[in-house]
């Protein structure tokens, strides 16, 4: 996976190393962080683009994010795509979790899934919630899932 900053600057280190560098810097600067990871996708014709973000929130002091995006020609049903989004977020959350624990930083995994049954994405809600909670992470869905619903969404739309 290739990562970049919002300004397009590539991340040259492995993502775990980059996260550790960020945590060390932010800690030295006196910021208490919260990390939110989310993925969103967009289908255009036969191509599905996924964007995964790691959002570093400095409560009352803004935040910033790292971005990874990928295009694939694999065809997904809506439910499969929602679960694939969650899986991509967990694939990032899992290896950086020990770093976050070491720095005592809260982690949330955000799913771009609506809690309102009137929306199609809701069909994947129980599976996504079970997947995220089963891995031991804090789960957030729309409207609280800003990492996936807003941050990652801006990358694929």
- Going by pLDDT thresholds of 50, 70 and 90, the confidence category of residue 88 is very high
- Going by pLDDT thresholds of 50, 70 and 90, the confidence category of residue 56 is very high
Residue 1 has pLDDT above 90, yes or no: no
pLDDT at 121: 87
Q: Which two tokens stand for residue 79?
A: 């439910």
- State which residues form the domain around 29: 4-156
Q: H helices of the chain, where? A: 15-28, 78-102, 125-134, 146, 153-156
Averaged pLDDT for residues 75-79: 94
Element (H, E) at 95: helix 78-102
Averaged pLDDT for residues 120-125: 90
67 near 49, Cβ under 8 Å? Answer: no
Rounded CA gap, 97 and 114, in Å?
26
Averaged pLDDT for residues 55-64: 96
Domain count, the chain: 1
- Which residues are within 8 A (CB) of 19 and not within 5 positions of it... i.e. 6 or more apart? 54, 66, 96, 99
pLDDT at 48: 97
Rounded CA gap, 107 and 96, in Å?
10
The answer to whether the peptide bond before residue 143 is cis (omega within 30 degrees of 0) is: yes
What are the tens digits of pLDDT across the range 10-28?
999 999 999 999 999 999 9
Residue with tokens 């397009």: 8
Q: Which 8-state DSSP code applies to residue 122?
A: G
Q: H helices of 30-73, where? A: none
107 near 94, Cβ under 8 Å? Answer: no
């Amino acid at each position: 996976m290739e990562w970049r900053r919002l300004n397009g600057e590539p991340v040259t280190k492995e993502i775990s190393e980059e996260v550790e560098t960020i945590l060390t810097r932010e800690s030295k600067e006196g910021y208490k962080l919260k990390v939110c990871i989310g993925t969103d996708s967009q289908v255009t014709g036969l191509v599905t683009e996924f964007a995964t973000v790691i959002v570093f929130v400095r409560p009352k002091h803004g935040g910033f994010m790292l971005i990874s995006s990928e295009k694939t020609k694999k065809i997904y049903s809506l439910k499969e795509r929602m679960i694939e989004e969650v899986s991509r977020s967990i694939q990032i959350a899992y290896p950086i979790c020990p770093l976050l624990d070491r720095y005592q930083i809260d982690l949330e995994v955000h799913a771009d899934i609506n809690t309102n049954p009137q929306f199609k994405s809701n069909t994947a809600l129980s599976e996504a919630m079970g997947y995220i909670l089963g891995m031991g992470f804090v789960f957030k869905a729309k409207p609280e899932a800003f990492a996936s619903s807003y941050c990652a969404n801006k990358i694929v739309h």
